Chain A
């Protein structure tokens, strides 16, 4: 009997509300006089033994002829599979209660417990208008909406670019605001309370939870030479409200042996994250053209008040092979330090204000290696195919006693395959 389980993919869903990244994409220098540009893509993403998804995207851009544009983007994604629930693998089989409270699922011994399997579909629409405001200023106003069965996100954004020094320098500012509502299946569990043994129902704090996010961006672009461009951005963000993942749990273990506590009703606890997060990024990108090839290097430093810091280095080199084809290898290296409330497991008897075993908040590194091939079909159309491999490994916050015989935070490998087609008419 397969119960339909609708899960919040809070991480993926909030990602769609990243308006400032969206706003970035509108400032394109098209080389043609066409009114319309259609950009379509299909992404296939698969983690080994975990989540996989299909994501078709379509983007339309209309040029009104007076330097004003409108952009429209529609994304649909269908996600299957599961992620680690936060409980750790142990030497015995484990039984968990489903979020709905209606059934249970079990994990074999020595296997990492995963959220129960599900199929979930999401749709998101993004629209923005770009308009000149005076001689050297361009303004942009955007709106986005993202919907899943149990999740809604609404957002607005506004930004402006000011060209200076014969357009050799550009100052940019932007602001984005998002309001999200999540409705976890079975209600949002009270943080750090126990996952009950079926058929007892979890303690909840209401069926619907809100979250507010806003971002402010300040940027500078500098033309360094006829063939060099340098970009610098600072982004400030704040998130408040329900920032917890209502499905993630932690295993409570004995402080000496590292084994889960004997009483199953005391064994698992729902995670709890602070209700506020302030974050900052500084980002820089350098674009350089050699004869025809293009090198693109970027670096981002991120830090927040959850004690997370990260470094992201990204490099691409576009080899032009004649006038119609190109090959672009890609390398990305990412490393982050854990949130101060990240705990791989909780020690019985210890008190915690906040705790999460979500591996996304752990000490982690991720390396991506990829290759893109592009083909210019005509002056107004282009085709591309991209394949990437991501290797991600995280470290536990502590390894206690018998836990050393388990892979507490397994590595996750993922493959990306993307096809895209752009047409101007």
Chain B
């Protein structure tokens, strides 16, 4: 189990760290990210209903939580 977490974190670091150090996306380049369909949770009711169903049928819960992205305005 600990090995799996470590591998997941390592894999993500490989993905995230280059993202941090390479040219960031400029504030005026967020046209695509501003779209509803590009949000982390574009249809919150769908997510709520699904989570509710799966929680009542399975032993696991949670995970998705909060996040960033979006148009970055204001």
> Do A and B touch (CB < 8 Å)?
yes
Contact with A along B33-64 (1 / 0, CB 8 A): 11111111111111111011111111111111
B19-39 vs A, Cβ < 8 Å mask (1 yes, 0 no): 110001111011111111111
Selected A-B contacts with CB under 8 Å, 25 pairs: A18-B52, A20-B62, A21-B62, A24-B44, A24-B66, A25-B48, A29-B34, A40-B45, A59-B45, A161-B67, A167-B68, A221-B69, A222-B19, A222-B20, A229-B33, A230-B16, A287-B39, A302-B61, A310-B58, A312-B60, A334-B54, A334-B60, A366-B54, A384-B43, A384-B46
CB distance from B17 to the nearest CB of A (A): 9
- Interface stretch, picked from A182-190, A191-199, A200-208, A232-240, is A232-240
Q: How far is the CA of A169 from the CA of B29 in the complex (A)?
A: 15
CB of B47 within 8 A of CB of A360, answer no
Q: Which chain B residues lie closer than 8 Å to A166 at the CB level? A: 24-27, 72
> In the complex the two chains form, is A284's CB within 8 Å of B69's CB?
no
What count of chain A residues pass the 8 Å CB interface test? 99
Q: Are B12 and A223 in contact (CB under 8 A)?
A: no
> Once bound together, how far apart are the Cα atoms of A45 and B49, in whole Å?
10
The 7 closest A-B pairs by CB, nearest first: A170-B68, A25-B44, A221-B68, A29-B70, A283-B63, A15-B55, A167-B72
Contact of A287 with B63 at beta-carbon distance under 8 Å, contacts A11-B56, A221-B68, A418-B46 already known: no
Q: Are B39 and A308 in contact (CB under 8 A)?
A: no
| CA–CA, A221 and B41, complex, Å | 13
Tell me if B10 is interfacial: C-beta within 8 Å of chain A.
no
User: Could you tell me which A residues sit within 8 Å of B by CB distance?
Assistant: 9, 11-12, 14-16, 18, 20-31, 39-41, 43, 45, 55, 57, 59, 67, 73, 75, 140, 159, 161, 163, 165-170, 172, 174, 215, 217, 219-227, 229-233, 235, 237, 279, 281-285, 287, 289, 294, 298, 300-304, 306, 308-310, 312, 318, 326, 334, 336, 339, 360-361, 364, 366, 372, 384, 386, 390, 392, 412, 414, 416, 418, 420
